[in-house]
DNA sequence: AACATGAGCAACCGCCGACCG
DNA sequence: TCGGTCGGCGGTTGCTCATGT
C-alpha cells in the first residue's frame, strides 16, 4: 500500500497557471493569509494541488519578491554561500531578500555553474580544477565558528557550527550533493553541524560578539545583495563575527 | 521561411522531517 | 511509541523562446 496522494489528481489542473488562477490565489491569501495549503485549493475554488498553490505563491506571486536579473553582488554572495552550505537553496535564499530557492537553484544551474567553470573552478567543490581534472585543496583549517540562523519562528534557532577536524584522507570522487558516499562533509576540514533548538549557552550576547548579518561578514555590507539593516539584526540571519585572521 | 538546437525557467515529483492524535 | 498528515525541500522535467543553420 503506497503513500496516499497529496490531492485528487484526477480533478486538478496541471501545468502553467492562468491569470485567473493567479488572481484567485492572490485574493484568497490576501483575505485569509497563508496556511493549510491542503485545503486552500478547495476553499479558494482552485482545481489545483495544495502543493502547487504553495509553490506558485512562494515562487511567483508573493508581493515581496524581487524580479529581474541578479546583480554581481548577488552572484558573489550565492557563490560564497554555496561554498559554505552546498545545495541548501532555501538557506541561501534566506540570505537574499526577495529571491526564492527555486529561482536561485535555476540561476545556479544555468549561470553560475558556467561562471565558475570559466574561472577554472569546480562548481561542486569550489576548488580550482587542475590540469588532470582533479580538484586542488583550497580550504584551510578554521577555528570553530557559529552561525545562528533565526527562522520565522522567533523561538527557534539554527546553529551552524563549523568545526576544525583532523584532515582525513580525501575521497577523489565527490558527489554533486556536496557529500561523499559515506556522508562525510564535502570539505574535509569543514564540518557543518546544523542543529535546531534554542540558542546555545554561548550564543553571543556581549558587544564584541553581537550577532551580525551573514551578508556583512561575507563582504556585502550595504550592497545590493543585502538589504537588511545592521541595527535590526533580528530581521536577518546572523552569526558571530569572525576573529581577526579567521575566514570562511 | 522553416527547422534544429540550446538556454532559461516554471512547475512537478518524491522524499524527509515535524507535528499531532 | 507509533502511524498518519502536512509542509517544505532538492532534484528533475518539460515547455517556451531565442538563436543559429
Rounded CA–C1' distance between A52 and B18, in angstroms = 21
Q: Where in chain A is the domain with CATH 1.10.10.60?
A: 11-61
Rounded CA–C1' distance between A138 and B5, in angstroms = 37
The 3-state secondary structure of A116-163, one letter per residue: HHHCCECCCCCCEECCCCCECCCCCCCCCEEEEEECCCCCCEEEEEEE
> Which bases on strand B have an atom closer than 7 Å to a protein beta carbon?
7-15, 18
Per-residue confidence at A72, pLDDT binned at 50, 70, 90?
A: confident
Per-residue confidence at A234, pLDDT binned at 50, 70, 90?
A: very low
Rounded CA–C1' distance between A116 and B1, in angstroms = 39
Q: What is the sign of the dihedral through the CA atoms of A171, A173, A178 and A184?
A: negative
For the segment 185-204 of chain A, residues whose CB is within 7 A of strand B: 196
Please state, rounded to an integer, the average pLDDT across all residues of chain A. 64
CA dihedral of residues A148, A152, A156, A158 (deg, nearest 10): -30
Phi/psi of residue A62, nearest 5 degrees: -55, 135
**Model pLDDT for residues A238-248, shown as the tens digit of each residue:** 333 333 344 44
**Model pLDDT for residues A175-224, shown as the tens digit of each residue:** 333 333 333 334 433 444 433 333 433 333 333 344 445 555 555 555 54
Q: Which nucleotide is nearest to A105 if distance is taken from CA to C1'?
A: C10
Q: Which nucleotide is nearest to A104 if distance is taken from CA to C1'?
A: B9
Rounded CA–C1' distance between A206 and C13, in angstroms = 50
The strand pair at A157-163 and A145-150 is best described as antiparallel
Asked whether the predicted pLDDT for residue A87 surpasses 50, the reply is yes
pLDDT computed for residue A38 by the predictor:
84
Q: Classify domain A11-61 at the CATH topology level.
A: Arc Repressor Mutant, subunit A (1.10.10)
Tell me if A205 sits within 8 A of A241, measured CB to CB.
Answer: no
* Residue with CA nearest C1' of nucleotide C12: A106
**Model pLDDT for residues A108-140, shown as the tens digit of each residue:** 988 888 888 878 888 888 877 766 655 555 444
Amino acid at each position: 500500500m503506497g503513500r496516499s496522494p497529496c490531492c485528487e489528481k484526477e480533478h486538478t489542473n496541471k501545468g502553467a497557471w492562468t491569470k485567473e488562477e493567479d488572481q484567485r490565489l492572490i485574493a484568497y491569501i490576501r483575505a485569509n493569509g497563508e496556511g493549510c495549503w491542503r485545503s486552500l485549493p478547495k476553499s479558494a475554488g482552485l482545481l489545483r494541488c495544495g502543493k502547487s498553490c504553495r509553490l506558485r505563491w512562494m515562487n511567483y506571486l508573493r508581493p515581496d519578491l524581487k524580479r529581474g536579473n541578479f546583480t554581481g553582488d548577488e552572484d558573489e554572495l550565492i557563490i560564497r554561500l554555496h561554498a559554505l552550505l552546498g545545495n541548501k537553496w532555501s538557506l541561501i535564499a534566506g540570505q537574499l531578500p526577495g529571491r526564492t530557492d527555486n529561482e536561485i537553484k535555476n540561476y545556479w544551474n544555468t549561470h553560475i555553474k558556467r561562471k565558475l567553470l570559466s574561472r577554472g573552478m569546480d562548481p561542486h567543490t569550489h576548488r580550482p580544477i587542475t590540469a588532470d581534472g582533479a580538484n586542488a585543496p583550497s580550504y584551510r583549517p578554521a577555528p570553530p565558528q557559529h552561525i545562528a540562523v533565526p527562522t520565522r519562528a522567533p523561538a527557534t534557532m539554527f546553529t551552524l557550527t563549523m568545526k576544525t577536524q583532523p584532515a582525513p584522507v580525501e575521497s577523489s570522487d565527490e558527489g554533486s550533493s556536496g557529500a561523499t558516499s559515506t556522508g562525510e562533509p564535502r570539505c574535509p576540514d569543514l564540518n557543518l553541524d546544523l542543529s535546531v533548538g534554542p540558542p546555545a549557552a554561548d550564543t553571543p550576547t556581549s558587544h564584541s560578539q553581537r550577532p551580525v548579518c551573514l551578508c556583512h561578514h561575507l563582504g556585502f555590507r550595504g550592497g545590493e545583495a543585502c538589504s537588511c539593516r545592521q541595527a535590526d539584526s533580528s530581521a536577518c540571519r546572523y552569526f558571530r563575527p569572525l576573529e581577526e585572521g579567521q575566514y570562511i
